[in-house]
Amino acid sequence: MLNIRVEQYLKNYFIVLICCYLFCGVCLADFFEFQNIPTNGGYDLEYFTIKGDNYIAITNHYSDSSYSQNACIYKFLDSTFVVFQTIPTKGAYDIESFEINNETYLAIANGRNSSTRRLYCKIYKWNGASFEEFQTIPANCVIDIEFFRILEDEYVAIANLRSDSKYRVNSKIYKWNNSSFEEFQSIPSKGAADFNFFTIEDEKYLALANYYNDSSHKVNSIIYKWNGENFEDFQEIVTYGAKDWENFQIDGINYLVVSNMYYNNNYNIDSVIYKFNGYEFEEFQTILTHGAICSEFFTIDNNYYLAFSNQKNGQTSNIKSIIYKWDTNSFLENQQLNTNTSQQISNFEIGDQQFLALSNYYDGFTRKLNTKIYIWQTPHIDTDNDGVIDLFDKCPNTFQNSIVYSDGCPSVRGDYSDNQKLDLTDCIGILNELIQKHDEN
């Protein structure tokens, strides 16, 4: 006869396996809802740390009536994110954290107000207790900010989506001069939506996603290469309403993925993964996405994942965003998450726990939605070793080898959960339950 603890473990584990078989991996998908954070047109989110403390910053782009919203910084306290600081913004898109000389900065892309898109990027500096305004950089509907280093120098690239009248505007790279950022290089762009900086064998690259050229969403996005003094054209790739670049490496091979959002009145188009062949990037894999806004590559337990934020499919904004898992030589669908015009997806780690955060912008009726934070949960883990896996355990702190119900709660109500001792009443109760279970079987 099996030990009851082992029997209970196997019972629950096989429930998980059967559920996974029947529902195409839902139970083994591994990310489960952890916390909801109210937002007004939640757009970008950024995880960062300051002296061991964990924060996440979220931009609110638009309520149902105004672009004047607060970006909110949340601090991780007692296993949850709580409001720490709010910063006034105007139609904010991106938010980027970075460090220079051990000082922490936060840059916010203010994209528009009710009358103009000719606004600014504002940089804030940590003063030891909160962020305070540090520098304002003029911009044209700035939608992305990318911080990077080359040797000992620091830079920020600002992607200008458009002016009030056209999408063909220059994007800018600014260089740190030891006290502030000053303009360094102007980059011609066509509806610039994203910059992504990466390195391959000590060579520095900057990928620019061009979204629209004032007549078509079919437009070349550009990969630039550092020549020792500035960035110059390296490769052009045809993209379709490109919104994001993401670089990653698997087994020493470099990849670059573009999120294609829209072309020819269609949101249901392929996003594309490119592989570096030693000379240039060549097409490697296509993934059907639905108004894709961005992607996020991450690693958990030596497994590789690529997640896409899907915005809409042309009929509804309530559409699933997808996590793909690397399977030897390509990415295969692993998990679906319910989202509403998702604008950003971000993976981060606190301690030894992995999280995934997704912003939700609009559900077809309102922008007052929740940004959702998910937590990684391995189905077979049984933290308190009571035979009930954590997925189903409603009493997570029972003692090892305790006799429990299938929900993980003690089957008898004695004092052993406090001092690990059983009195006579407890023992009789346990014996009766064992006899009853035996008779039922």
Q: What is the CATH number of the domain that holds 358?
A: 2.130.10.10
Q: Say if residue 349 is in the same domain as residue 434.
A: no
Considering the domain architecture, whether residues 104 and 13 belong to the same structural domain is answered as: no
Q: Is there a single domain that holds both residue 65 and residue 167?
A: yes
In-domain check, residue 42: yes
Q: Is residue 24 part of a domain?
A: no
Does the pLDDT value for residue 348 go beyond 60?
yes
Domain boundary among 330, 350, 376: 376
User: At 439, phi and psi to the nearest 5?
Assistant: -65, -40
**Model pLDDT for residues 266-307, shown as the tens digit of each residue:** 999 999 999 999 999 999 999 999 999 999 999 999 999 999
Give φ, ψ of 16 to 5 degrees: -60, -45
Higher pLDDT, 56 or 400: 56
Q: Last residue of a domain, which of 343, 376, 409? A: 376
pLDDT value at 380 more than 80:
no
**Per-residue pLDDT at 191:** 98
Are 305 and 393 in the same domain?
no
Q: Is the domain of 334 the same as that of 417?
A: no
- Residue 390 and residue 371 in one domain: no
In eight-state DSSP terms, residue 437 is H
> What distance in Å separates the CA atoms of residue 167 and residue 190, rounded to the nearest whole number?
5
- Domain-located, residue 230: yes
Total structural domains within the chain: 2
Query: Do strands 120-126 and 318-326 pair parallel, antiparallel, or not at all (unpaired)?
Result: unpaired
Average pLDDT, stretch 119-125? 98
Asked if 120 and 110 touch (Cβ cutoff 8 Å), the reply is: yes
Specify whether 106 is located in the same domain as 223: yes
Share of the chain above pLDDT 90, in %: 78
pTM: 0.83
Q: Does 25 fall in a domain?
A: no
Do 363 and 318 lie in one domain? The reply is: yes
| Ramachandran region, residue 217 (left: φ > 0; alpha: ψ -120 to 50; beta: rest) | alpha
107 shares a domain with 13: no
- CA-based R_g, the chain, Å: 25
Q: Confidence class of residue 390 from pLDDT cuts 50, 70 and 90?
A: low
Rounded-to-integer distance, Cα 377 and Cα 380, Å: 9
Q: Tell me which of 376, 402, 425 is where a domain ends.
A: 376
- Residue 113: which domain range? 30-376
Q: 48 and 101 share a domain?
A: yes
Enter the tokens of residue 18.
């059967």
Query: Are residues 150 and 71 both part of a single domain?
Result: yes
Token representation of residue 123: 């940089």
- The encoded tokens of residue 189 equal 């762009």
pLDDT digits (tens, 9 = 90+) for 132-143: 999 999 999 999
Helix then strand then coil, in percent of the chain rounded to 5, is 10, 60, 35
419 part of a folded domain? yes
Question: Which residues make Cβ contacts (< 8 Å) with residue 121, sequence separation at least 6?
Answer: 107, 108, 109, 110, 136, 137, 139, 142, 145, 156, 158
d(CA 65, CA 35) in angstroms, rounded, equals 26
- 313 and 413 part of one domain: no
For 150-182, what is each residue's pLDDT tens digit?
Answer: 999 999 999 999 999 999 999 999 999 999 999
